[in-house]
Amino acid sequence: MATSRAVRELLARYPQVELLSYPCPEFILLGFPRAPATREVYQRLGMGEVAGRVVAFIKRVIAEERPPRAVLVGVKGSPTCAASITSSSDPDVYPYHLLEEFGRLPKEERVFRARDISRDFKPAERPGILFELFRSELQGTYLDFDKDDVPGSIAALEEVLEGRTR
C-alpha cells in the first residue's frame, strides 16, 4: 500500500501525465495467488505468448493515443515486468507441482512456501519477458521501480517526469 500511495502522490503533482495500466501477465497465466517463479520458469509455462498479447494491446493504445513520450515502468526483480533486472533460477529444479496447489493453501502456508521456493532465485541483468518484448517494439524511457527502495524509485521516476535524466 505504501508503494501505491507514493506513486499516486507523485502522479498527482503531474496532471499532464496519462497513466496506462495493463493486465498482469502473470495473473493471466497462473491466476491469483500464484507461487513465485523466475523468468526461465515463466518461459517454460508459455509467458511469451501472454506477454505478446499484452504488448500488442499497449502498442495499439500508443498508436491510437500518440503520446509525446512513453515512460515504461517495470518492477525490479519481476520475471515478467522488470525493465532491466529480473529473477533467474534453474527451471529444471523448480517445484512445478506446487503451481496448482499454491492458490488453495492458507496464507501462512503460502508465505512459508514462497520463501522456500524463492530462496535460490538470483537477480539477472536483463529485462523480464514482457519488457524484453517492449524494448524490441516500443521506443521510450525504461525504468525499474524497486519496491525495496520506494523513496529512491519515486525520486528516479520524478527525475524522468521532470526531464532531468534518462
Question: pLDDT tens digit string along 37-56?
Answer: 999 999 999 999 999 999 99
What average pLDDT does the segment 70-97 reach?
A: 94
Beta strands 85-88; 122-125: pairing state: antiparallel
Report yes or no on 93 lying in a domain. Answer: yes
Residue 95 pLDDT > 60? yes
Report yes or no on 154 lying in a domain. Answer: no
Q: Are 81 and 130 in contact (CB under 8 A)?
A: yes
Residue 166 pLDDT > 60? no
Domain holding 131, by residue range, is 21-149
Q: How far is CA 81 from CA 108, 119, 127, 133, in A?
A: 26, 20, 8, 10
Own/partner contacts of 143-147, CB < 8 Å, gap of 24 or more, are 143/71, 143/72, 143/73, 143/74, 143/83, 144/73, 144/74, 144/75, 144/76, 144/82, 144/83, 144/84, 144/85, 145/3, 145/7, 145/73, 145/74, 145/75, 145/76, 146/76, 147/3, 147/75, 147/76
Report yes or no on 11 lying in a domain. Answer: no
What's the predicted TM-score (pTM) here? 0.89
Cα 163 from Cα 150, distance rounded (Å): 20
Q: How many domains does the chain have?
A: 1
What average pLDDT does the segment 16-20 reach?
A: 85
Report yes or no on 8 lying in a domain. Answer: no
Report yes or no on 15 lying in a domain. Answer: no
Q: Which grid cell is 80?
A: 515478467
Q: What letter would DSSP give residue 96? A: T
Report yes or no on 26 lying in a domain. Answer: yes
Residue 61: CB atoms within 10 A of its CB come to 13
Tell me which amino acid residue 104 is. Answer: R
Residue 105 pLDDT > 70? yes
Report yes or no on 34 lying in a domain. Answer: yes
Report yes or no on 50 lying in a domain. Answer: yes
